[in-house]
Amino acid sequence: MAEQRFTEQHEWVRVEGGVATIGITDYAQEKLGDVVYVELPEIGKKLTQFSEAAVVESVKAASEVYAPVSGEVVEVNEALAGEPATVNGDAMGAGWFLKIKVADPAELQKLMTEDAYKAYLKDLD
């Protein structure tokens, strides 16, 4: 079973077999509005926890996407280049941004569980 965690900046991370898939949450894509462009990192780039990993632009604003965990980029979602609106339609699935090989699995403990994230969102409204 994949372990899924969340950040206060509304990124999600799902770890399976030492590889983390990263994207933004439904809450984040709703706040951004229609996504029109996604800038993804180079494969092989090393990211540290909470450093900038990607950029997402919408009709309203541009926003950084931060790495929930440290590691090396092993894959990016090339489909987003031609269909950035996938982020709006399926933020927690097909709208993922990148995959990284996790450097330190203990970093996941610094992130929120799904229940903690839901409680965090209630405090925002």
Residue-wise pLDDT for 9-25, tens only, equals 999 999 999 999 999 99
Task: Tell me how far apart the alpha carbons of residues 12 and 44 are, in angstroms, rounded to a whole number.
Answer: 21
What pLDDT, on the 0 to 100 scale, is given for residue 19?
A: 97
Strand, helix or coil for residue 79: helix
Span 36-92, pLDDT tens digits: 999 999 999 999 999 999 999 999 999 999 999 999 999 999 999 999 999 999 999
Please check whether the domain covering 3-104 is classified as CATH 3.30.565.10. no
* Per-domain boundaries in the chain: 3-104
Token pair for residue 110? 């610094």
The residues, ordered by sequence, that sit 6+ positions from 22 with a Cβ below 8 Å of its Cβ are: 11, 12, 13, 53, 65, 67, 68, 96, 97, 98, 99, 100
